[in-house]
C-alpha cells in the first residue's frame, strides 16, 4: 500500500519539510499543478522521482491566470482523489495553499513576461502568462526545488517557465515531459472532463490533423496555406472554432524556420471547452 503524501497548506510548513530533506542531503523536485490530476500529471511525478530523491506536488487553482470570462468557477476540484493518485505515484508532499496563503491581502506584485509568451495563447488569454509566471516564481521561491517538471502539452507555458528561470536566475532545472495521450491520441487534460462522448470523438481528431499538418510542413508545404488548411479541416470534423494553428521555432517560439526544429501549436473550441495541443515539426 502506497503511503499518502504529507499535506501542508502553509509556506512555513512547506519550507520546514524541504529544509529537513536538505539537511538529510536529499534532492527535491517539484510538480506544480492546478489539481484534477490525470495520468499526464502522474507521469510528471514519476519523472520527478527519477531525477530527485523527494517530490513535492503543489495543488493550487491559481486565479491570476484566469480571465473573468474563463472557467475558474467550474474548473474540476477533487482534492481527496488527487491525494490518492499522488500516493500511488509516490509523491511525498502535497502543498495545498488557499488563495489567501498565496495572495495575502495587499498583494501587489506581478511578473510580466515577453519572449516566448508573445502571441499564440497571449492573443486569446492576454493575462494568462503573467499569472503563470507570478505563481511559478512564488512556488519556486517557496519550495526551492532542484528540479521542476512541466508537461509538453502546455508547450508555450514550458517555454515561458524556462525563460523565467533564465531571466531571473532561479536555480531550478526545468524538465519538459512528453505529452501523455489516450489510446486514440487525445492529449490528457483536466478540461477533457467537460466533454461528452460525441465531443470526445471529435476531440480525438485534433492530434491527427496536427500530425498531418506537421508532416506537410516538413515535406515543404507553404506555412500559411498549410496551417489555414488545418484550421478548415478541424472545423470540418466538428470543432466549433479554431483560435490558431501556428508553426514556431521549438526553443524560442520565434517564427518558424525550416532549418530549425519546429513546433506546431494549436487551440480550438468544442462547445464551451477550449483544447490545446502541439506536435513536433522535424527540421529539413
Query: Any bridge partners for residue 244, and if so which?
Result: 267
Q: Is 154 annotated as a binding residue?
A: yes
| CB count in 10 Å sphere of residue 199 | 18
Q: Is 191 annotated as a binding residue?
A: yes
Q: Is 102 annotated as a binding residue?
A: no
d(CA 155, CA 214): 16
Instruction: Assign 7 to helix, strand or coil.
Output: strand
Distances (CA, A) of 218 to 22, 113, 207, 211, 254: 47, 30, 16, 10, 17
Q: Is 112 annotated as a binding residue?
A: no
Give the count of alpha carbons within 13 A of 276, CB side only. Answer: 18
d(CA 80, CA 57): 14
Q: Is 65 annotated as a binding residue?
A: yes
Q: Is 243 annotated as a binding residue?
A: no
Q: Is 92 annotated as a binding residue?
A: no
Q: Is 37 annotated as a binding residue?
A: yes
Which one is catalytic: 5, 28, 41, 52? 41
Q: Is 204 annotated as a binding residue?
A: no
- Which residue carries 515543404 as its cell? 220
Q: Is 25 annotated as a binding residue?
A: no
Q: Can you read off the three cell numbers belonging to residue 167? A: 531571466
Q: Can you read off the three cell numbers belonging to residue 41? A: 500529471
Q: Is 151 annotated as a binding residue?
A: yes
Q: Is 114 annotated as a binding residue?
A: no
d(CA 273, CA 284): 35
Given phi > 0 = left and psi -120 to 50 = alpha, else beta, which region is 222? beta
d(CA 164, CA 181): 27
The backbone torsions φ and ψ at residue 85, rounded to the nearest 5 degrees and listed phi first, read -65, -40
Annotation marks residue 91 as catalytic: no
Q: Is 34 annotated as a binding residue?
A: yes
Q: Is 3 annotated as a binding residue?
A: no
Q: Is 220 annotated as a binding residue?
A: no
Give the DSSP letter string of 90-144: T--EEE---HHHHS-TT--------GGGSSTHHHH-TTHHHHHHHHHHHHHHHH-
Question: Would you list which residues are annotated within the binding site?
Answer: 34-41, 65, 151-154, 157, 180, 188-191
List binding-site positions for ATP. Answer: 34-41, 151-154, 180, 188-191
Q: Which positions make up the binding site for (R)-pantoate?
A: 65, 157
Residues annotated as binding site for beta-alanine?
65
Residues classed as catalytic: 41
Amino acid at each position: 500500500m502506497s503511503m499518502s503524501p504529507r499535506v501542508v497548506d502553509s509556506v512555513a510548513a512547506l519550507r520546514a519539510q524541504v529544509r529537513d530533506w536538505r539537511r538529510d542531503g536529499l534532492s527535491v523536485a517539484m510538480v506544480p499543478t492546478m489539481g484534477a490530476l490525470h495520468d499526464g500529471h502522474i507521469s510528471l511525478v514519476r519523472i520527478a522521482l527519477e531525477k530527485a530523491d523527494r517530490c513535492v506536488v503543489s495543488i493550487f487553482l491559481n486565479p491570476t491566470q484566469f480571465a473573468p470570462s474563463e472557467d475558474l468557477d467550474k474548473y474540476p476540484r477533487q482534492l481527496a482523489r488527487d491525494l490518492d493518485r499522488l500516493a500511488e505515484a509516490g509523491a511525498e508532499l502535497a502543498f495545498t495553499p488557499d488563495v489567501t496563503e498565496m495572495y495575502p491581502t495587499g498583494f501587489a506584485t506581478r511578473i510580466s513576461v515577453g519572449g516566448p509568451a508573445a502571441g499564440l495563447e497571449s492573443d486569446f488569454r492576454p493575462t494568462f502568462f503573467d499569472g503563470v509566471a507570478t505563481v511559478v516564481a512564488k512556488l519556486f521561491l517557496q519550495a526551492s526545488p532542484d528540479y521542476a517538471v512541466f508537461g509538453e502539452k502546455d508547450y508555450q507555458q514550458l517555454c515561458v517557465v524556462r525563460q523565467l528561470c533564465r531571466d531571473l536566475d532561479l536555480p531550478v532545472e526545468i524538465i519538459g515531459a512528453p505529452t501523455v495521450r489516450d489510446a486514440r491520441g487525445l492529449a490528457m487534460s483536466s478540461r477533457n472532463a467537460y466533454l461528452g462522448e460525441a465531443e470526445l470523438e471529435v476531440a480525438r481528431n485534433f492530434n491527427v490533423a496536427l500530425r498531418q499538418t506537421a508532416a506537410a510542413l516538413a515535406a515543404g508545404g507553404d506555412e500559411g496555406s498549410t496551417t489555414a488548411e488545418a484550421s478548415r479541416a478541424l472545423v470540418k470534423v466538428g470543432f466549433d472554432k479554431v483560435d490558431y494553428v501556428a508553426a514556431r521555432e521549438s526553443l524560442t517560439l520565434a517564427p518558424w524556420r525550416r532549418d530549425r526544429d519546429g513546433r506546431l501549436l494549436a487551440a480550438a473550441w468544442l462547445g464551451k471547452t477550449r483544447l490545446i495541443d502541439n506536435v513536433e515539426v522535424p527540421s529539413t
